[in-house]
A and B are shown apart, each in its own frame.
Chain A
Amino acid sequence: MIAAKNIYKSFNGKYVLEDISATFEEGKTNLIIGQSGSGKTVLLKCLVGLHGVDSGEVWFHDMEYAALSHRQRSEMRRKIGMLFQSGALFDFATVEGNVMFPLALFSGMSKGEQRDRAHACLERVNLLGARALRISELSGGMQKRAAIARAISLKPKYLFCDEPNSGLDPKTAILIDALIKEITVENNITTIINTHDMNSVMEIGDKVIFLHSGKKWWEGTKNDILDAENVELNEFVFANSLAKKARRMM
């Protein structure tokens, strides 16, 4: 469980997040949705501690992140897997090297075990064949998938995904969503996903938080979202005409 309490975050005096409170539950896929620029990435980075917050608290279970000592913080970070919006794969290593990187640092496994684990992770994202390639040789979608493999390599307790399926074709996007959901349930992970893909919302939106210009505008589940009475949310949800038609038919 992760809880955010009254988070404020500004850059150069301009507030990007204002008074965000939310809880993200274990074993569930928690979604943060919102338009481009609404503050999703900043919120995610505040939650994992990559951005300091102006005020407010982030709790991982019963521990407040800001109150942790340096050492506790490092330990905590080992339990976090994160998929960055840009992939953030290390271009000094191969695909396999990237997935093995956190394993080599923290797992205490032998080289052979690390490689086996890396292969298992790559297998899950259907990328085993590309394990020897350099990052620059991958397509955008392959980079996303490799980044997912790296994020799950250490079997994290907390998984953060910044737009895991943007830039993927619809079929792969569904596979990735399903994979994240599966891992979440299997290992009882607290998973937080940024997305603006309504497909993902309808597939895996156990809990959905809608951000609008840095504020939490709405909160609910995928079942409530279609008949929520909220102008901005409706604009977001029914932005594409297919969804509009679906709504008229309801």
Chain B
Amino acid sequence: MMELGVNSIAIVAIVSVFVGAVIAIQTALNLMNAPYYMVGLATRDSLILEFCSTMIALILAGKVGSNIASQIGSMRITEQIDALELMGLNSACYLILPKILSMVIFVPFITIFSIALGILGGLAGMALTDNLTVSEYIEGIQRDFTPYYVTYSIIKSMVFAFILSSVSAFWGYSVQSGTQEVGRNSTRAVVTSCICILMFNLLLTELLL
């Protein structure tokens, strides 16, 4: 089950580092007249508040969501789900629950990992360009840190993990017949999860911040 998330670590790492660097550089360019520490601070907060939970959830919706949907969908068309049912198991619980659980547990860790790499990416961005010195950036990172933002980010990532795994499992499970439907439903899984994640992002921001 862990493979669901583990396989995504590389892509998450790459995206986080690059986005971190880009956010830092752009902030530096846009904040010419603001105090220098704003760059590190803004990079840190946008990574924590928005990018690392929402973007990573969207990436995982594409990668893990389609995986879950097509896996469950092909179990349906190869009668594996019928076989589970016939053994007296509740196939939905047996197949879906562990996936949801492992995602809800695993995605917060990926999110924290992504925050760390994003901040490092920003550091690399500063080192490679001459907008700001590395120590000025680091000072910004350490300034006015609100621990609650991290809590908020983790809560969001757990909710998103739940959404993407359950929505994808639903689409996989509702495959009736044929490989074409497996493909169609895994696309639907990705699209629906993304939309739900974005809507819940808005809702959670209203509720929690």
Spell out A's residues near B (CB within 8 Å).
45, 48, 50, 73-75, 77-78, 80, 82, 84-91, 101-102, 105-106
B89 touching A50, Cβ below 8 Å:
no
Q: In the complex, what residues of A have CB within 8 A of residue B86's CB?
A: 48, 50, 77, 80, 82
Q: In the complex, what residues of B have CB within 8 A of residue A89's CB?
A: 80
Spell out B's residues near A (CB within 8 Å).
75, 78-80, 82-83, 85-89
Closest chain B CB from A187 CB (angstroms): 19
B82 touching A102, Cβ below 8 Å:
no
A91 touching B80, Cβ below 8 Å:
yes
A154 to B59, CA, bound (A): 44
Closest chain B CB from A87 CB (angstroms): 8
A85 to B78, CA, bound (A): 9
Closest chain A CB from B83 CB (angstroms): 4
B87 touching A77, Cβ below 8 Å:
yes
Q: In the complex, what residues of A have CB within 8 A of residue B83's CB?
A: 82, 84, 88, 90
Q: In the complex, what residues of B have CB within 8 A of residue A84's CB?
A: 79, 82-83
A105 to B89, CA, bound (A): 9
Q: In the complex, what residues of A have CB within 8 A of residue B89's CB?
A: 105
Q: In the complex, what residues of A have CB within 8 A of residue B87's CB?
A: 77-78, 101-102, 105-106
A217 to B87, CA, bound (A): 32
6 additional contacts, CB 8 Å, given A50-B85, A75-B88, A91-B78?
A: A78-B88, A80-B86, A85-B79, A87-B78, A87-B79, A88-B82
A82 to B87, CA, bound (A): 9
Q: Which residue of A lies closest to B81 (CB)?
A: A88
Closest chain B CB from A50 CB (angstroms): 5
Q: In the complex, what residues of B have CB within 8 A of residue A74's CB?
A: 88
